[in-house]
Structure 1
Amino acid sequence: MKSHKVINIRGASNYTHLKRHNAIESGRINALDMLVNGNPLEEVLSELVSSLESATTGLKCLISLLDSSRTVLNPFVGPSLPLPLLEALKNQKVFPAATTCAVAIGKRELAVSEDIIQDPHWHELQNVAIACGIRCCWSQPIISPNGEVFGTFSMFFPTSGVPEQDDIDSLTYEAQIVSIILERANNIQQLKETNAELERRVEERTQELTNTNHMLKKALDQRNEVQNQLVELENMAALGTMMSSLTHEINTPTGVAITAISYLRSILSKTTQAFQQEQLKRSELEQFFAATEESVDIVERNLIRSTQLIKTFKQLSLDQHSQEARKINLISYVNEILLTLKPRLKRSNQKFCFDIDPELEVYSNPGAISQLLINLIMNSVQHGFDAKQIGHIFFKIRVIEQAIGQPMLELIYKDNGCGMSEYTIENLYKPFFTSARHNGGSGLGMHICYDIVVKVLAGHIDCKSKIGKGVEFTVTFPVSLDKPELDSF
C-alpha cells in the first residue's frame, strides 16, 4: 500500500471536524500542565496517549524513541500494550527496517501496515503481535521543527484496516505535540545542566560576583515554587544572553589594555637594559616617559570602560530577579537592553528608532520593563519579519498625566512586519497560543508580557495590527517622578 505523506497541520483549530478532537485537546492540555508542573516525561506522554486511546475502541498507542546512535528504536511509552509485545519491539534496527515503526523513521513519513500477517516487515514479530491481539499498525515519525527525528507515534488495532483522513490528521497532530513536549523536556534538562555549570564557575569567580551568584541560586530555588516553569525558562534564557553579550563587549577594551601593557613592558625592558649598560640617552628616556604616559592612559580608559560594562550587565542581571523600584533613565535603559540582545539580533536586519526624551527619568520596576521590552522585540524578530527582511522597530515613551494626578508612563511599540489577523489578536495573550508551533513557538511570550503589565506594573496593554501592516502595542502603567517615600511605622 502506498504510504500517506505528512500533512502540514497549523494548529488545534483545524481539528474541529475530527472525531477525536475533544480527547486530543484534553490530552494536550493535561500533558502540557504536567510538563509545567515538573512531572516525569513518561507520565506526561502517558497522559497524552491514554486520552487518545480512550476515544477509540480497541486502539493502543506507542511512543518509541531513537537511541543516541540514531539507528535503534525502542519503546518509551505504551501503557496499554501487552508486555510481551513491548519486549519484542525493543532494539529495532532502523536499517534494515523490521517493523512499520522503523519504516516510518527511514522514510520520514507515515507508514501503514494494513495487515501484520501479510506484511513482510513484521515477519519476525508476527507471532508475538497476533498473540497479543494486534493485527494492524500505523506509524508516524516524530520530527522536530528543525528536522530532527526523535522517534515514532504508532497506533495499533486488533483488526486489519487502513487509516482514513481523520486518522492521518490525528496521527500527524499527536506526533507534533509529542515533538513539542520532547523538545521542551530537552530544553529543561539542558537548562538544568547549564545552571549547574554556571554555579560551578560563579563559585570560582571573585567576591565582586558573589551577590549575582546568590541571586541566581535564589532564582533556581524559587523555580520549583512558581506555577509556571516555562516562564522561568524565558527569564534564564535572557540572563544567558546578557552573559554572552558581556563576554563579547568586554573583549575589546580588555584586549586593547593587554596590548598597551605588552608594549609598555617591551619599552621598559629596552630602557632598563640601556640604563644598566650605562648607554641610556636623554632622548631615549624622554621617549620612554612619553610612551609610558600614553600606554597608561590607554590602559586606564579601557579598564574604566570594562568596569562600566560590568556594572551595566550586573545591574540588568539583578533587575531580572528583583521587584524593587529604582530610578532609571529610560533612553539609557532601552540602549542597555538592546546591548544584551546583540547575540540574538546579530543575524537579523532590524533597525531601531527612538522617540524618548534623553532627560526622562522615572521610578519604576526595571526588571519588569526589561522583560517586557525583550519579549516584544523577540516576538517581532521571530514572528514579524522574514529572515532577509530589513525591519524597523520604533519606541515612543513619554509621561502622561491622569485626571487624578497620577503620572502614567505611555510606551508605544511599533514594527513594520507582517502583522496579525483579528483571530490572532483575540487570542494573543492566552498561554500556549502560538501561530508558529511548527517552528517551535511555546505560546508564552505575549502571555508573559500581559502578566508583567497587568500584575506586576498594574497597567494596561493594547494591541493594534492588520495583516501586512505591522503591529502596534500601547502600554500604560503608573510611575513616580520622585523617589517613593518609605512607609512609616
Structure 2
Amino acid sequence: MAPESLQTEIVTLKQQLFDLQYAERLHHALFKIASLSHEELALTDLYQRVHEIVSQFIDAKNFFIGLLNEEEQTLTLPYFVDEQDVGDKDMTGQVLQLGQGLSSYVIRTKKPKLLTPDKITQLMTEGEIKEVLGSTDFKCWMGAPMITGGMLHGIIVVQSYAEQVKYNQQDLQFLDYVANHIAMAIESNINATQRREAQRHLAEQHRLLEQNNKMLTDTIAQLKKTQQELVQREKMASLGGLVAGIAHEINTPLGICVTGISHLAEEHKQLKADYVNGTLTEEALQEYLDEIEQGLKIISTNADRGAELVKSFKQVAVDQSSNEQRQINVRSYLDEILLSLKPKLKRLKHTIEIECEPQLSVMLNAGAISQVFSNLIMNSIIHGFDEIEQGRIKISIYSKNNNLVIHYADNGKGLAPESLNQLFEPFYTTKRGDGGSGLGTHLIYNLVHSSLKGSIKVNSELGKGLAYLIKIPLTH
C-alpha cells in the first residue's frame, strides 16, 4: 500500500473513531438530559445538572437559563455563569424586560439560533435586534427556546469568548434537544411541586376540617344539652305557674268552708248554752236547724269545688311531670286542662269553643298533650289577644286514619311572614322586653315532634289570627 493511501486510510479511521466517540458522548449526554424529566429535583439543582451535562459535550463555560413570564413580558435568570460577568456584573436572579436583544430574538422567533459577531451585526442592520446585554466580546453565541407541548418556558444560552471554540450546527441541534428536555423537566418539576403543595394544602384543610368538625360536634352537643335544660326549666316554670294559680284558686272555697264551719260552731255553742240554761225556744231551734242546713250546703258545695280543683290539678301536674302514656278521654281531659287554667282565664272575657266527640278515647302521652294545650292557650292570651278585650279560641279534635287531628285557631293579632318563619325557633319572642322567654312555641314543637312523634303546621296573617294543625299518630 502506498504511503499516501495509508495516510488517507489512517485519517479516515481517525475520523470514524472521532465520529464514534462523538456519537457515544452525544448518546450518553442525551440520555442524561432525557432522564432529568423523570427526577424530582429542585430547580436550582436541575439547572446545575444541566450545565454539567452540556459541559461534557460542548464547551459551556459561559451558560445561562432564562425563564419567561409571558404575561409580564419579562425574562428571569435563575442560573447564570459567565467568565466575564462576575462580581457586580453577575446577572443571577435578575429580571430583564423583553426587548430586541439576542435572547428576545430567539424567544420571538421560537427557533434555535447560532450567532457570530458578524451575524449579529447583520441582524442589527436588519432591525431584528438592537442591543446585546452583558459582555459583547464573545466569539460565538447559541440560544435555544425551551418549548414543551407548544408552551414556551424560556431560553438556554451558551457562548464562547475563545477564538478556538466555535460552535457548529451539531452543537446547536444538541442544545435545542437539551432545551426541549429542560422544558419537560421544568414542567414536571412544577407539576410535582404543585402536586406536593396541593397534597400539603389538602392535608392541612383536612386537619382543619376535622378540628372544626370536632368543635361543631362539641358545640352542637352543648347546645342540645342547654336546650334540653331550658325546655325542662320552661316545663317546670309552667308547672310552677299552675301550682301557684291552683293554690290561689283553692284558697277561695277552703276559706268559705272555714268561715262556714266557724259560723256553725258559734251557732252550736249558742244553742247548747240556751239548752243548758233552759232558755231554748222552739223558734230558736228552728232557726238553728235552718242555719245548719244552709251552712252545710255552702260547705259541701265549696268542698266539692276544692276537691274537683285538687283532682284536676293533681292529674294535670302528674302528667306534665312525666312522659308516660295512658288512656284518656280527650274531651274530659281537655276540660281538666281548662280547669287548671281557670285562675288565669276567669278574669278575662275570652271564650274557648271545643268540638270533640264525648266518647273519643285515645292512648297517648297525656302530659305532653296537657303542656301543648296549656302553651297554645296561654300564647293566644299573652300574644294573640294583646290589647284585644274579647278574643275567641276554637279547638276541633277528631280521629282520622289512625291519627289524632287537632285544629287550633284564635282570632288574635296574627303574625307577619318573617315572624311566622321564626315562630318555632328557640328564644324567638315578640315579647322580648316584657319577660317573654321565646321557648313557649319551641316547647310545643319539641313536644309534638319528640314526645308525641307527630307533626305541627302553622298558618297566620296579620290581623287574621293564627291557626295550628297538629297530627299525632295513635298507638293501641
After TM superposition, the score normalised by the length of structure 2 is 0.49
Q: Which has the higher helix share?
A: 2
Larger Rg: 2
